[in-house]
Amino acid sequence: MPNPVPLERALSKLGLASRKEAVRLIAEGHVQVNGRVVRDAMRPVRLAIDLLSVRGMALVAAAPRTLMMNKPRGVVTTRKDEAGRKTVHDLLPADCGLLSAVGRLDKASAGLLLFTNDHQLGERLTNPASHVRKRYRVKVRGVVDEGVLAALRAGVVDPELGRLTAVSVDLERQTEKGAWLHITLDEGKNRQIRRMAEALRLEVQELIRTDLGPLQLGNLAPGEVRDLSAEEMRALRRAAGV
């Protein structure tokens, strides 16, 4: 027997609308469950059993699709931005349907970002308990010596998020003005790398996510998007425990 989910989440899972948009459609009386109008967004439904329709049109699940983007700097990870800034969804293909970003990269960060309509996969990848590893190239200003590396590897205590640790921290190269680091995480708390750097008075100049689980950014250019291959999807689902 399939587990029930709230009606607003079911509409999102079917690729019809974001959860916020789904709540509005339900409240306005546009959604029916088994032929009856339902205005309660939290009404439990079973996707494999209940017949859902919007404005009289029956809903069917969209074909599973997962995309990889090389997110450029200066673009925000949100569906719509009240300030009118460019968002990652502006870069997606017009035919991709309703996909959700898997996790976030802040405006100043770049690199590998996934989008999917497979909500189970998305939830597993963003659940800290899954321990899916993410690797970043990070450029910081100044000299990074063994003492700084040791401090990063030991972890820091953040006043809001508690203890922040990394799986590994390695020096790629030191330049005259800064250093490039490789940092691997298996949790990915909000702005974790930037918070760790700030605790040690390091200024982050660039932050690029290069790997997520078995996936690598490779030569995908900034702003470009591609579908994952079947092999990549199998590896990703294994890593997420789906």
pLDDT at 2: 58
Closest residue by Cα to residue 174 from 137, 198, 150, 143: 143
Tokens of 233: 């999807």
Q: Are residues 219 and 204 part of one domain?
A: no
Q: Are residues 140 and 124 part of one domain?
A: no
Alpha helices in 104-200 (DSSP H): 119-126, 146-154, 192-199
Cα→Cα distances 202→55, 146, 148, 174, Å: 54, 14, 9, 14
pLDDT at 141: 94
With b for 16 or more beta-carbon neighbours within 10 A and e for fewer, the 187-226 pattern comes to bbbebbbbbbbebeebebebbbbbbbbebebeeeeeeebe
Compute the distance between CA of residue 108 and CA of residue 10 in angstroms, rounded to an integer.
33
Q: Are residues 115 and 146 part of one domain?
A: no
Q: Match 């990063």 to its residue by tokens.
A: 152
pLDDT at 4: 86
Q: Are residues 221 and 165 part of one domain?
A: no
Q: Are residues 155 and 40 part of one domain?
A: no
pLDDT at 153: 96
Q: Are residues 140 and 37 part of one domain?
A: no
Compute the distance between CA of residue 106 and CA of residue 71 in angstroms, rounded to an integer.
10
Alpha carbons within 13 A on the beta-carbon side of 232? 15
Give the CA diameter of the chain.
69
Domain that holds residue 161: 133-212
- Number of domains making up the chain: 3
pLDDT at 11: 87
The partner residues of 116 in beta bridges, in order of sequence, read 66, 100
Q: Are residues 137 and 117 part of one domain?
A: no
Instruction: List residues with catalytic annotation.
Output: 106
Output the domain CATH number for residue 112. Answer: 3.30.70.580
* DSSP classification of residue 68: E
pLDDT at 34: 92
Q: Are residues 72 and 54 part of one domain?
A: no
Q: What is the pLDDT along the chain (242 residues), one digit of tens a residue?
A: 457 889 998 887 776 777 888 899 999 999 999 999 999 999 999 877 888 999 888 877 677 889 999 999 999 998 777 888 899 999 998 888 778 899 889 999 999 999 998 878 888 898 888 899 999 999 999 889 999 999 999 999 999 999 999 999 999 999 888 999 999 999 878 899 999 999 999 999 999 999 999 999 999 999 999 999 999 999 999 998 88
Output the domain CATH number for residue 37. Answer: 3.10.290.10
**How many CB atoms are located within 10 Å of the residue 50 CB?**
16
